[in-house]
């Protein structure tokens, strides 16, 4: 442990190919052991904004359903719109009740660290199972994306908030403020096995693949949303006599669908930088607090010291919260490529599932 209470983790110092990595020791963000996560105002703000967004979305999704029932609207377009909004409202309410509500209690519990030894960490294709100490067989079981499962298998270290009286808890891998919900069980997930050795580059490779999958899903969602706007216009015409969809509506739908193209382009630039660019470590001072959004991203501004001693402004616009908290806690910024003013660079935490973009001015 360092004097700041942050664990020193194995991460690649510098590389030009993600298949050849040299590891050194580097600080990453971690919860303070024995302290509730809620002592950090950022944690509370993230939970509150997420709760507010879910409450608002639940009301907005339920409103069209209520109108359809109240006015006894019928027709294929109306039924399609009602079905979609019913599902979205149900998902929002479930997330609010089963995730955000218990999260508030878990954030007030002291953070503990689990360091599973051989045979005490098992993994399946989607879950991790960690044996808890004690005479009775108890296992923490949680779903995790592959990149975080590999990081846990490599580090053999994970932080736990909870469990509460119902056995619910949150697990966080080193370098991440975004956790995964889990429960205390009497046995590991069936079919789980020892993860074995993890290649140094496996975490980043898996994370880039996850980013590509998310980008594809986002693009599909925007495409579906563009088509849904047309269906919504048809439903309005059938139910209330609004004008039928026309050329203007079509242009709006196409433009909205094209917004989804931006995310795959961003991920492509991240993947290219990871494959071809070396890591550069910069000292950074944040001039503004991290401003979180309810979508797992946030904003911040600060100053970095470039090679040669020059100072540049750095802007984090809607970047992953995991990236922002690591910059805040370690006062270090890792970028891929040559840091120069006027450039937009890929930033992250080497060896961890944390990647985003920053702009130097």
* Percent share of the chain, pLDDT over 90: 69
- Interacting residues of 270 by C-beta distance below 8 A, sequence separation 6+: 208, 211, 346, 355, 357
Is 13 within the bounds of a domain? no
Asked whether residue 311 carries a pLDDT value surpassing 60, the answer given is yes
353 and 282, same structural domain? yes
Is 29 within the bounds of a domain? no
341 and 289, same structural domain? yes
291 and 349, same structural domain? yes
Select from 185, 213, 233 the last residue of a domain: 185
- DSSP E strand boundaries for the chain: 8-17, 20-27, 111-114, 121-123, 127-131, 139-143, 158-161, 168-172, 180-185, 279-286, 291-292, 297-305, 311-320, 332-336, 344-348, 355-360
Asked whether residue 253 carries a pLDDT value surpassing 90, the answer given is no
My answer on whether omega of the bond before 163 falls inside 30° of 0, hence cis, is yes
Q: How many separate domains does the chain show?
A: 4
Asked whether residue 304 carries a pLDDT value surpassing 60, the answer given is yes
Asked if residues 117 and 127 have their Cβ atoms less than 8 Å apart, the reply is no
CA–CA dist 56, 356 (Å, integer): 28
Is 342 within the bounds of a domain? yes
Is 206 within the bounds of a domain? yes
- Interacting residues of 258 by C-beta distance below 8 A, sequence separation 6+: 222
Is 318 within the bounds of a domain? yes
353 and 281, same structural domain? yes
- Interacting residues of 98 by C-beta distance below 8 A, sequence separation 6+: none
Asked whether residue 11 carries a pLDDT value surpassing 80, the answer given is no
Asked if residues 288 and 317 have their Cβ atoms less than 8 Å apart, the reply is no
Lowest mean pLDDT among 53-57, 247-251, 317-321, 355-359: 247-251
Asked whether residue 65 carries a pLDDT value surpassing 50, the answer given is yes
Give the model's confidence band at 226: pLDDT under 50 very low, under 70 low, under 90 confident, else very high.
Answer: confident
Record the tokens describing residue 324, joined without a space.
């922002």
Average pLDDT for 59-73: 84
Radius of gyration (Cα) for the chain, nearest Å? Answer: 23
102 and 116, same structural domain? no
349 and 285, same structural domain? yes
Task: Kindly state the DSSP code that residue 39 receives in the 8-state scheme.
Answer: G
Burial class (CB in 10 A: 0-12, 13-18, 19+), 46: buried
Asked whether residue 136 carries a pLDDT value surpassing 80, the answer given is yes
Is 284 within the bounds of a domain? yes
Task: Kindly state the DSSP code that residue 314 receives in the 8-state scheme.
Answer: E
Average pLDDT for 237-245: 70
CA–CA dist 63, 84 (Å, integer): 12
Select from 89, 106, 123 the last residue of a domain: 106
96 and 169, same structural domain? no
350 and 307, same structural domain? yes
Residue 211: what pLDDT?
Answer: 96
CA–CA dist 247, 313 (Å, integer): 44
223 and 171, same structural domain? no
Q: Look at residue 307 and give its three-state secondary structure.
A: coil
Asked whether residue 10 carries a pLDDT value surpassing 60, the answer given is no
Select from 266, 290, 310 the last residue of a domain: 266
Which residue segment(s) compose the domain that 56 sits in?
39-106
115 and 102, same structural domain? no
100 and 118, same structural domain? no
Mean pLDDT of the chain: 88
Is 299 within the bounds of a domain? yes
Lowest mean pLDDT among 73-77, 138-142, 147-151, 283-287: 73-77
CA–CA dist 264, 267 (Å, integer): 5
Asked whether residue 259 carries a pLDDT value surpassing 90, the answer given is no
Is 346 within the bounds of a domain? yes
115 and 96, same structural domain? no
Residue 238: what pLDDT?
Answer: 67
């Amino acid at each position: 442990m360092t004097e700041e209470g942050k664990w020193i983790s194995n991460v690649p110092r510098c590389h030009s190919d993600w298949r050849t990595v040299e590891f050194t020791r580097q600080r990453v963000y971690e919860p303070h052991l024995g302290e509730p996560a809620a002592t950090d105002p950022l944690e509370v703000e993230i939970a509150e904004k997420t709760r507010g967004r879910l409450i608002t979305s639940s009301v907005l999704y339920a409103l069209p359903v209520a109108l359809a029932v109240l006015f006894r609207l019928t027709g294929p377009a109306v039924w399609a719109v009602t079905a979609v909004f019913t599902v979205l409202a149900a998902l929002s309410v479930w997330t609010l009740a089963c995730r955000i509500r218990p999260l508030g209690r878990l954030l007030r519990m002291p953070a503990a660290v689990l360091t599973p030894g051989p045979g005490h960490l098992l993994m399946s294709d989607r879950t991790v199972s960690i044996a808890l100490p004690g005479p009775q067989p108890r296992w923490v079981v949680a779903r995790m994306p592959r990149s975080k499962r590999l990081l846990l298998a490599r580090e053999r270290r994970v932080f736990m908030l909870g469990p509460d009286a119902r056995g619910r808890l949150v697990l966080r891998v080193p370098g991440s403020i975004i956790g995964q919900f889990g429960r205390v069980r009497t046995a590991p997930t069936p079919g789980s096995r020892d993860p074995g050795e993890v290649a140094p580059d496996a975490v980043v490779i898996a994370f880039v693949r996850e980013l590509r999958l998310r980008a594809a899903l986002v693009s599909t969602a925007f495409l579906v949303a563009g088509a849904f706007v047309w269906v919504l216009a048809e439903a309005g015409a059938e139910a209330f006599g609004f004008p039928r969809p026309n050329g203007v509506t079509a242009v709006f739908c196409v433009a909205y669908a094209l917004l989804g193209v931006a995310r795959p382009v961003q991920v492509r630039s991240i993947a290219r930088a990871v494959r071809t660019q070396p890591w550069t470590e910069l000292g950074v001072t944040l001039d503004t607090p991290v401003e979180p959004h309810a979508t797992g991203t946030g904003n911040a501004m600060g100053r970095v010291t470039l090679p040669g001693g020059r100072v540049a402004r750095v802007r984090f616009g809607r970047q992953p919260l995991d990236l922002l908290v690591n910059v805040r806690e370690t006062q270090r910024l890792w970028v891929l490529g040559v840091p120069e003013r006027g450039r937009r660079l890929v930033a992250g935490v080497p060896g961890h599932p944390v990647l985003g973009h920053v702009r130097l001015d």
